[in-house]
Chains A and B, each alone.
Chain A
Amino acid sequence: MAVVNFKVNGKAYSMDVDPDMPVLYALTNDIKLNGPKFGCGLSQCGSCTVLLDGQPIRSCQTAMSDVAGHEITTIEGLGTSDKPHPIQVAFMVEQAAQCGYCISGPMLYGKTFVDANPKATQAEIEQSLNGLLCRCYTHTRMIKALVRYQQGVK
């Protein structure tokens, strides 16, 4: 066990945990967040995606020891349904979900890419989601949402 200090959505946490434990379990079971989700536990789908110091990572394969001293942002940290972030508005407008279980991956990978590459082509935005899974196959709507978000960023 080891004490790990880290921030989540702007709030500081200090947890005495197995440093090998995936951070996803701390986020969902201890901090009780619902945005990042257990999909595969293997970094193969992206449902557990969070931002670590602003960059998307798979929280199911990131150990607690790796987040010590760092800041995590989940989709809860972007906005709320009353006050949503523009990327969330874009997903709402395009109705870019069916079950929505995978949504953290496309939203956070896509947002990070578009923020860094506001003039990216649609093909480049699609490639930024490489390897993520959406089993309901709302792919085209999610891409449309990211393009819509990009219009606002430009």
Chain B
Amino acid sequence: MKLQEIFGATQAVNMREDAREAFENAPFSRRDLMKTMGALVVGFSSVASIKKLGAEAPLPSPVYDLLQVDSWIAIAQDESITAYSGKCDMGQGFRTVQYQLVAEELFVPIDRVNLIFCDTALCPDQGTTSGSQSHLTEFGATGLRQALATARETLLAMAAKQFNTTTDQLVIKAGVISMKSTPANSVSYGKLIGGKKFSLATNAKATPVDPKNYTVLGTSVPRYDIPQKTTGEYIYVQNVRLPGMLHGKVVRPPFIDAQVVSVNNASVAKLGGNVKVVVKKNFVGVVADTEWQALIAANTLDVTWSATKALPSQDTYYQTIRKQPSRDSYTVNTGDVDANIKSAKTVLKATYLHPFQMHGSVGSSCAVADVWVNNGVTFAKIWSPTQGVYPQRDSVAQVLGTAKENVRVTYVEGSGCYGLNGADTVSYDAALMSQGVGRPVRVQYTRADEMTGGEHFGAAFVIDLTAGLDAQGRIQAWDYEAWSPTRGNRPTATAPGNVITGYLAGFPLPGIVPAAATQPTTFGNNSNVAMNYGTGCVGTSCGSTGNVRSERYLSHSVDSPFFTGPLRSPARLQNTFANESFMDELAAAAKIDPVDYRLRHLVDPRLVDVVNAAAKAANWQARPSPKPGIVKTGIATGRGFACVLYEGSNGYSAMVAEVTVDQATGVITVTKLTMSEDSGPVSNPDGLRNQMEGGALQGMSRALVEEVNWTDTALGNTDWRRYPVRQFGQPMPQLVTVLTNRLDVPQLGAGECTITLSASAIGNAVFDATGARLRQIPFTPVNVKAALAARP
């Protein structure tokens, strides 16, 4: 069996053959890696190969100290460099950026670099790859960059000692350190340390390369994975094939809270494929020799489920969640909002509605698990497309009834996930079925499995906004109150019930504990609850980007009938849709150009810069919205604006949307999206543009068409016809990206900025074109026509 059949190119891209073999044979820790091959790490005894695993107890997974250089880097005698990271690539391009980072900081050619990421047996625990945190983390104080800088400075010091000189007399070129005065005096990294450990703590004072001097970072190094993705050589988790592997399918309850009353194993006894049924409390799965046989068995198995209470009515759902018991919190409460609104010259109120939406990965989720027992102890290996191998290891250990050290989770890329699709819960499914049948099991969801019993929906929101303006139209006070339902989340060691399979298997679901809001103690805007234009004052400190001093933000979390999770730009998209649309309403009420109106309320120079950059690139003509001389029939055109400081601290972005609206049909066509971005030093310009473009269009799809629907008895979105998204063949806008490569500031995230802006920018453009305000997503023809009809 070749490595590619097991781990795939995901990890093996650019890896030497001996390194690949060592990786393949590593069961549970780097201590098991090959001594003689030496490419990956300093040698320890080589133990079991994967083929023997079923018969042997592997060494427990180690813990890699984030503050030890050896946790991150190994340099072999042959000069190859292997870096270990806890941040994965799931299509966003961070694999390539990490290669660039290693080459840049160590002054080595990029083709000398190996990278292994997101394997609990090999890599440092960096939690999840999510929330646009990868750049902040890996370029931060406890990340990969600091370890690399420490390693480089240490190697320089070692060479200085060897040549009896000082480090300032040395120069590094392609991993070789030489005396400036006598270049013949030189030594390579491999000679200095090859095959040995650094045994050194990361030095917080080590100096990373100044971004102004970047030669590898800051360039559009082509993505490492794309060639193999175009040729079918790339191995996704769907392509992991183990010897003796069986195929499993899940049988989900009609309602998530339904209980198994009985399972009629006889109903599948006569089917081909040695069908086995695995039941654990309310989890039901079938395993068969082939995928097709498993699919037939899943569709045949006769399960009797208990009846449960009906789902809340979708028609009145936005009213229902206002009345549910809630856990409340303030983001800011300056205490003077009511008075300032009362004294305002003009008061505006609006309610914004956002539905549940799906991650809707194009590939239904898949995972492979091998669970075995040795001397009464359960061990497991899981190949998973999860965003968090470590949290999954810790929680799946609970599900399997073993210690986390006995579980190895290896990330293998799946279909783009954008948050918490079915990746985690399908890994539980595979683990439970493998445990049940004692063989490796691959579980590939069907489309309906993914959409109704796999993925966690992005949360619905109801947001009430009120603002008071003074006589000049300036914002005097801003009042926000929102309700949002949640259930479950990413799995954790203490909450395996956070995901669907854990819950079905009997683990408790941490619910909403109602609680009144208390005064905040610090300003945090991680969910972009606070709009851009406030001061964000909590106590004596102010942390936001604007100049409106009187603010109140009250959030209510309520229980959800569906499992929810961090769908790309979680809460931030919904809040920004409301905040940036309402800002546009205020500008219109003040009869001021929407860009000018924003600038009057902004103080953060970086946000001001991206606003100006987007407006300039779009050739924005300053005037109030709606555009003068609107005709209420026919095709109308307009432009809209939105901007955000993502998560309140993690990436500045602005967008101009240009649209046409067919006022007879209510159909919106987005013709152009112009976006600007400032996320600090740009690591890979083309990679950043790819993220901005894809985010903007995914945001457009979510704004225009996407909504989870249900009846009193079932979820209605079982396939792409019932959950339509924007597809090829439908009009796609021209995309313009403007990058601000700011070199004197830290790296920030960028993957979720533009998706956060599409809905409000498009809605504001529709207002500009027609005078109709869109306050409910999705902007379907029905909702657009209702808004058009409501015009004065």
Contacts and interface: CB of A to CB of B under 8 A. Distances in A.
Contacts of B656: none
Contacts of B698: 135-137
Contacts of B226: 91-92, 95-97, 100
Interface string B671-703: 000000000000000110011011111100100
Interface in B207-247: 222-223, 225-236, 238-239, 241, 247
Contacts of A18: 292
A129 B729 contact: yes
B232 A141 contact: no
B386 interface: no
Nearest to B699: A137
Interface string A54-88: 00000000000000000000111011110010001
B231 A84 contact: yes
Contacts of B413: 99
A112 interface: no
Contact of A131 (B241, B366, B727): B727
Nearest to B684: A95
Nearest to B451: A40
Given A130-B729, A137-B693, A75 B230 contact: yes
A36 B363 CA distance: 11
B671 to A, nearest CB: 13
Contacts of A40: 364, 447, 719-720
A97 B729 CA distance: 18
B555 interface: no
Interface in B719-740: 719-721, 725-729, 732, 735
Most buried by A among B93, B697, B728, B732: B728
Given A34-B232, A100-B226, A133-B728, A29 B290 contact: yes
B363 A47 contact: yes
B579 interface: no
B231 A141 contact: no
Interface in B81-138: 90-93
Contacts of B290: 25, 29
A121 interface: no
Contacts of B446: 41
Contact of B416 (A35, A131, A132, A135): A135
Given A98-B92, A98-B694, A135-B415, A34 B236 contact: yes
A136 B725 CA distance: 12
B444 interface: yes
Interface string A16-41: 00100110010011001111111111
A102 interface: yes
A134 interface: yes
A28 B229 contact: no
A44 interface: yes
Contacts of B222: 92, 95
A97 B694 contact: no
Looking at B366, B696, B727, the one whose CB has the most chain A CB atoms below 10 A away is: B727
B488 interface: no
Contacts of A133: 362, 720, 725, 727-728
A100 B8 CA distance: 15
Nearest to A18: B292
Contacts of B697: 137, 139-140
Main DSSP-derived SS at the A contact region = loop
B690 A139 contact: no
B360 interface: yes
Contacts of A78: 231
B328 interface: no
What's the interface size class on B, roughly? 35 or more
B234 A34 contact: yes
Given A95-B690, A98-B690, A101-B416, A41 B729 contact: no
A44 B363 contact: no
A6 B96 CA distance: 39
A100 B291 CA distance: 23
Nearest to A34: B239
A98 B222 CA distance: 12
Q: Which of B238, B416, B444 has the most CB of A within 10 A?
A: B416
B227 A129 contact: no
A44 B364 CA distance: 12
A96 B514 CA distance: 47
A100 B727 contact: no
Contacts of B414: 99, 101
B238 to A, nearest CB: 6
Contacts of A107: 230
Most chain A CB inside 10 Å of its own CB: which residue of B92, B229, B236: B229
B778 to A, nearest CB: 16
Contacts of B236: 34, 37, 101
A45 interface: yes
B361 A135 contact: yes
Contacts of B362: 39, 45, 47, 99, 101-102, 133-135
B464 interface: no
A98 B721 contact: no
Nearest to B697: A137
A100 B225 CA distance: 9
B720 A44 contact: yes
Given A92-B227, A99-B415, A103-B230, A139 B732 contact: yes
Max chain A C-beta neighbours (<10 A), residue from B91, B415, B447: B415
A42 B719 contact: yes
Contacts of A101: 91, 236, 361-363, 414-416
Contacts of A5: none
B91 A97 contact: yes
B300 to A, nearest CB: 14
B5 interface: yes
Contacts of B363: 37-39, 47, 101-102
Contacts of B686: 95
A41 B231 contact: no
Contacts of A138: 690, 693-694
Contacts of B92: 98
A85 to B, nearest CB: 8
Task: Tell which of B222, B241, B292, B697 has the most Cβ of chain A within 10 Å.
Answer: B292
Nearest to A102: B362
B291 A25 contact: yes
Nearest to B733: A140
Contact of A92 (B230, B241, B725, B732): B230
B416 A136 contact: yes
Given A22-B292, A140-B693, A100 B234 contact: yes
A72 B413 CA distance: 26
Contact of A32 (B233, B241, B415): B241
A45 B618 CA distance: 33
A38 B720 contact: no
Contacts of B223: 95, 97
A136 to B, nearest CB: 5
A47 B360 CA distance: 14
15 contacts: A29-B247, A32-B5, A34-B239, A39-B364, A42-B720, A81-B230, A88-B227, A88-B230, A100-B226, A101-B363, A134-B362, A135-B360, A137-B693, A137-B696, A140-B735
Given A32-B239, A102-B362, A139-B697, 5 more contacts: A42-B447, A81-B230, A98-B92, A103-B229, A140-B735
Interface of A: 18, 21-22, 25, 28-29, 32-42, 44-45, 47, 74-76, 78-81, 84, 88, 91-92, 95-104, 106-107, 126-127, 129-141, 143
Please give me the 5 A-B residue pairs with the lowest Cβ-Cβ distance, nearest first: A35-B232, A130-B729, A99-B91, A100-B229, A99-B416
